[in-house]
């Protein structure tokens, strides 16, 4: 049987936790279609525009722009409050990110930078570029 008929193990692996640190800078590791150029994060096997199995690893970051954000005060599964936001990369990719804020320091269209520790990544305002 063709390997292409095997289901995707898309609940395993790093998924939305996939990132790489080099020279002190954090980049997230997603994918880009060789044919259409569509970019994705988390990484995918199939291009969401064309259906082609032509996705290749691609890195994004460390700089992005905060499109919008929300601090969430209600959850039955997570500690609150927490802040999430959509971040836009120059390549045209948008993804949802954890946002670390200090007080009322966030604004739409604010430059943000990717940060990470041993297990996770997030964004925070990029002070030097604001």
Q: Is 63 in the site for another protein (CB under 8 A)?
A: no
Q: Is 96 in the site for another protein (CB under 8 A)?
A: yes
Q: Is 67 in the site for another protein (CB under 8 A)?
A: yes
- For the bound state, the minimum distance from the C-beta of residue 1 to another protein, rounded and expressed in Å, comes to 25
Burial of 62 (0-12, 13-18, 19+ CB in 10 A): buried
Burial of 126 (0-12, 13-18, 19+ CB in 10 A): middle
Q: Is 78 in the site for another protein (CB under 8 A)?
A: yes
Q: Is 94 in the site for another protein (CB under 8 A)?
A: yes
In whole angstroms, how far apart are CA 116 and each of 1, 24, 43, 92?
Answer: 41, 10, 18, 22
Of 20-28, 51-59, 81-89, 111-119, the segment contacting another protein by CB under 8 A is 81-89
Q: Candidates 88, 100, 101, 111: give the one binding another protein (CB under 8 A).
A: 88
Total residues contacting another protein (rule CB under 8 A)?
A: 35
Q: Candidates 20, 21, 29, 42: give the one binding another protein (CB under 8 A).
A: 42
Q: Is the dihedral angle over the CA atoms 107, 112, 115, 121 positive or is it negative?
A: positive
Q: What does the block give as tokens for 88? A: 């836009």
């Amino acid at each position: 049987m063709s390997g292409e008929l095997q289901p995707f193990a898309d609940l395993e692996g790093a998924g939305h936790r996939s990132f790489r640190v080099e020279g002190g800078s954090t980049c997230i590791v997603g994918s880009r279609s060789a044919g259409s150029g569509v970019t994705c994060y988390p990484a995918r096997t199939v291009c969401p525009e064309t259906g082609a199995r032509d996705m290749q690893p691609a890195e994004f970051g460390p700089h992005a722009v905060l499109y919008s954000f929300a601090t969430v005060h209600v959850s039955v599964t997570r500690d609150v409050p927490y802040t999430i936001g959509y971040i836009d990369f120059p390549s045209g990719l948008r993804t949802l990110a954890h946002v670390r804020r200090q007080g009322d320091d966030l604004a739409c269209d604010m430059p943000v930078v990717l940060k990470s520790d041993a297990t996770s990544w997030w964004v925070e305002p990029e002070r030097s570029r604001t």
